[in-house]
Homo-oligomer: A and B are copies of this chain.
Amino acid sequence: MKKGNVITISDVAEALGVSKTTVSRAISGKGRIGEATRQKVLAYIEEHDYKPNVIARGLAQSKTFNLCVVMPEDYALVDLPFFQEVITGIQEIAGMNEYDILLCICQENDITGLERVVRNRKVDGIVLLRTFLKDPQIELLLEKKIPFVTTGSTAYRKVKQVDNDQQSACRELTSILLMRQMKHIALLGGSESFVVNQNRYKGYQQAYQEAGREVEETLVYRNLESCAFMDRAVEEVLEKGADCIVCMDDAICIQVLRKLRQEHIKVPQDIRVASFYNSSVLENNIPSITSLSFNARELGMEACKNLLAQIEGETVPDRTLLSYEVVLKESTK
């Protein structure tokens, strides 16, 4: 027995009068081994609570049994619970496969954290929680040929991605609003440097098309980066006679609601409002807000499955789209 009374494979082998090879095989199930010896080894292991050293196994197999999750450092506050849920989903699947999660918090323009993890070969694969149109993280991983997957969509070719079907979701939401007799639906959106915002916009366009109508471009505001711009946009669409405002994310929706309240404009009486993701921040709003609902945990789980499959050398689809729900609430009544 070695130090710290942690028992090793040699201890087990010695105690049983068999070779380390045999013990290893009994545990892994790989290679031929007699059922009797196998049971004997397993019994001993169970009784003496032997746990193989995962690090050592990793070294021998050139694996780490770690996955890296890269999380942005500069997230919008409303996005945090979403990321958290995704991570929880990832961990759930990872844990079931005896993998652990290495966390890497990276800023957009400083990926030294990720570089260190890669350089130190501490992980077998990586999940990118958020990506950009031009993304140094993706370029690094592509170059190093390390298995990775993104949650959310990216425009990079040949990158495995798992995402909610943002476009269809937005198409459906918009369609429903149009069917409910809303005639002038304004769209307020955030930075176009996120692919997700582009996809959402496409869905909005599509819905108009399917309804045989032209998008009213004057009611569409994109790249709204600050509260001041949002307030301004609200004022303008009100002047232009919009009867509904669709917010491309909840950060925008919060600001829109604040502005409307300030202007004493009532929802849904004076104007309808819908948002693109029902975060808990909006959950308690009065009136309740119509929005899309995505399952963040499921997103994490699927991304993790995809990554593990890649690590196992299986071929995985380039793009996996998950479903969504349109949740109709009072704000569009």
Q: Using A55-B64, A80-B80 as known contacts, say yes or no to A105 and B121 having CB atoms under 8 A apart.
A: no
Q: Flag the segment in A14-22, A35-43, A94-102, A198-206 that touches B.
A: A94-102
* Cβ-defined contact, A103 with B91, below 8 A: yes
Tell whether A280 is near chain B: CB-to-CB under 8 Å. Answer: yes
* Cβ-defined contact, A121 with B53, below 8 A: yes
Measured CB to CB, the closest approach of chain B to A63, in angstroms, equals 9
- 1/0 contact trace for A20-63 toward B, CB 8 Å? 00000000000000000000000000000001011110110000
* Cβ-defined contact, A105 with B88, below 8 A: yes
* Cβ-defined contact, A103 with B87, below 8 A: yes
- Count A-side interface residues using an 8 Å CB cutoff: 37
Q: Using A73-B88, A113-B91 as known contacts, say yes or no to A51 and B100 having CB atoms under 8 A apart.
A: no
Q: Using A66-B102, A103-B69, A103-B101 as known contacts, say yes or no to A119 and B80 having CB atoms under 8 A apart.
A: no
**Residue from A80, A100, A105, A116 with most neighbouring chain B CB atoms (10 Å):** A100
Given the complex of chains A and B, what is the CA–CA distance between A72 and B105 in angstroms?
A: 18
Return the contact of A117 from the options B64, B73, B100, B281 (Cβ within 8 A). B100
Tell whether A77 is near chain B: CB-to-CB under 8 Å. Answer: yes
Residues of B within 8 A of A81 (CB): 77, 80
* Cβ-defined contact, B122 with A55, below 8 A: yes
Residues of B within 8 A of A64 (CB): 55
* Cβ-defined contact, A55 with B59, below 8 A: yes
**Contact sample, A vs B, 14 pairs, CB 8 Å cutoff:** A6-B121, A55-B55, A55-B58, A55-B59, A55-B64, A59-B59, A66-B122, A77-B280, A80-B81, A91-B104, A91-B105, A98-B116, A100-B102, A100-B122
Q: Which 10 pairs from chain A and chain B are nearest by CB?
A: A54-B120, A103-B103, A101-B103, A51-B119, A100-B102, A91-B105, A77-B280, A59-B59, A80-B80, A88-B105
